[in-house]
Structure 1
Amino acid sequence: MKDHYYEKLLNITTTGEQKKYNESIHYNVYEPTSYEALEILFKEYFLSENDTIIDFGCGKGRLSFYSNYFFSCNSVGIEMNPYYHKCAINNIKSFNKKHKNIANPITFINTLAEKYTINPSDNKFYFFNPFSEQIFIKVIQNILYSIEESPRTVDIILYYPSDDYIFYLENNTSFSLLYEIPIDNLYKKNKRYKFLIYRLS
């Protein structure tokens, strides 16, 4: 029911079976964050028009459209798979037909996550276990280099976080856990279903 409601509201298509697999063992199969989970996240975590949220492994762009529609923030999706990138671009066309007055744009880039150049305006980074720990470390290092060059407050948002991601952030970076948003009530008390928000000020 939530899928139908939001897909109609946003005028996009991000549902359906995800059949495209990545050639690299370092990149995981795409799965969009459920709309129920996004509702829970954004009841407690707010964005502004001045924020830019980067979704690594964005697939067809669900998070980007949701955050842009409800918060008018800059939304950037990074997707290595050409098929999903094309789907996301097609969704932009559909979204823009219905929503023409949102202040900030949605952008999708077809590239490897570790090759994405972190911009000084990028300050929110979303990960739903899109790739291996090795790639995650490279991406986090890119973010840290960017912060050194352009000091700012940056948040890392982890959904269904892996132990490897958590261990690296907490033991090898200056990011600290801001808060945890559990959603295990949606998933039969599976405690991995949660959001962890880390911040570096």
Structure 2
Amino acid sequence: MTEQEYDQMLSIKPTSGLQVLSSSIHQNRYEATPYAALEALGAEYPFHRKDGLVDYGSGKGRVPFFLHHQFQLSATGVEVNASLYQEAMENQTNYMKKKKNTVGSVHFERCLAEEYRVEKDQNKFYFFNPFSTQIFIKVVNNISKSAEKNPRTVDLILYYPTTEYVHFLHDKTAFDLYADIKIPGYYEKDEHERFLIFRLELTSD
């Protein structure tokens, strides 16, 4: 399917390129993950209905809608930009009209990523370079504390990963590299076109 066909199927208003989130140096510009990348992720990485996904910098909601549609998991989008959040809420209304009897859920929170309260049933966390490394560190620390309080396996899913994000996870955390998924047709032209998935496994005594 084309980008436009997927948007139509998921009731998402067409995405028009890049958008500046705010004047803050810590917030990066918004860009939607290509559907081809999400297809590759879904084909090689196990999602389940019981999963709880958080998409940081969710924009108009493409990742939550796509993964909910494909796997019937519960997905939360965290977005700080008011206009993008409003568009996500409008998309949610249109999307749910088609999904009245579906399993799982999709909803959105408007807040700073580092202030989002991680729930105990959330285990997969998605990042497409939405903010500075300083904010990323705070968010990962919040996720780690949640996993320590309620022991479980949590995965960080990084699309088009930055060197700074990766070095922090390698050098300063207990997360281990779990998977490296290269995007067919894209990776050959740009080695950043991949997903790196880092896993933290904690079990209760």
In structure 1, stretches of 5+ residues that fail to align are: none
The residue that corresponds to 2:161 in the other structure is 161
Change (3 A) 1:167 1:26: same
Report the counterpart of residue 12 of structure 2 in structure 1.
12
For residues 67-125 of structure 1, give each alpha carbon's deviation from its aligned partner in whole angstroms, at most 9, with x where no partner exists: 00110000000000010000000001110112212111101000000000011011000
Matches within 5 A, 1:1-201: 2-183=2-183, 185-186=185-186, 189-201=189-201
Task: State the secondary structure of the residue aligned to 1:185.
Answer: coil
Quick check: 1:184–1:191 contact (8 Å CA) kept in 2?
Answer: no
TM-score by length of 1: 0.96
CA distance in 1, matches of 2:146, 2:81: 25
Query: Is the contact between residue 14 and residue 60 of structure 1 (CA under 8 Å) also seen in structure 2?
Result: no
In structure 2, what is the Cα distance between the partners aligned to 1:21 and 1:54?
Answer: 19
Contact 1:78 1:113 in 2 (8 A): yes
Contact kept in structure 2, 1:3 and 1:15, CA below 8 Å: no
Q: Supply the distance in 2 between the matched residues of 1:14 and 1:196 (Cα, whole angstroms).
A: 27
> Amino acid of the residue matched to residue 94 of structure 1?
N
- How far off is 1:11 after superposition? 1.7
What letter matches 1:72 in structure 2?
Q
- Contact 2:123-2:153 within 8 A present in 1 as well: yes
- Displacement of 1:21 in angstroms is 3.4
How big is the shift at 1:14? 4.5
Change (3 A) 1:29 1:140: same
**Between 3-12 and 117-126, the greater mean CA deviation after superposition:** 3-12
Deviation, structure 1 residue 188: 5.3
- Conserved in 2, the CA contact under 8 Å of 1:26 and 1:131? yes
Q: Percent identity?
A: 43
Query: Are the counterparts in 2 of residues 14 and 32 from structure 1 also a CA contact under 8 Å?
Result: no
CA distance in 2, matches of 1:81, 1:187: 30
Contact map agreement 2:20 2:28 (CA 8 A) in 1: no
Q: Which runs of 5+ in 2 are unaligned?
A: none
In structure 2, give the amino acid aligned to 1:190.
Answer: D
CA contact (8 A) 1:56 1:77 kept: yes
Comparing 190-199 with 14-23, which one deviates more in the overlay? 14-23
The count of aligned residue pairs is 201
Measure the CA separation in 1 of the matches of 2:137 and 2:5. Answer: 36
Name the aligned partner's letter for residue 52 of structure 1.
G
Residues of 2 paired with 1:50 and 1:187: CA distance?
Answer: 31
Question: 1:2-49 CA deviation, whole Å, 9 max, x = no partner?
Answer: 112111211222422344431211010000000111111111012111
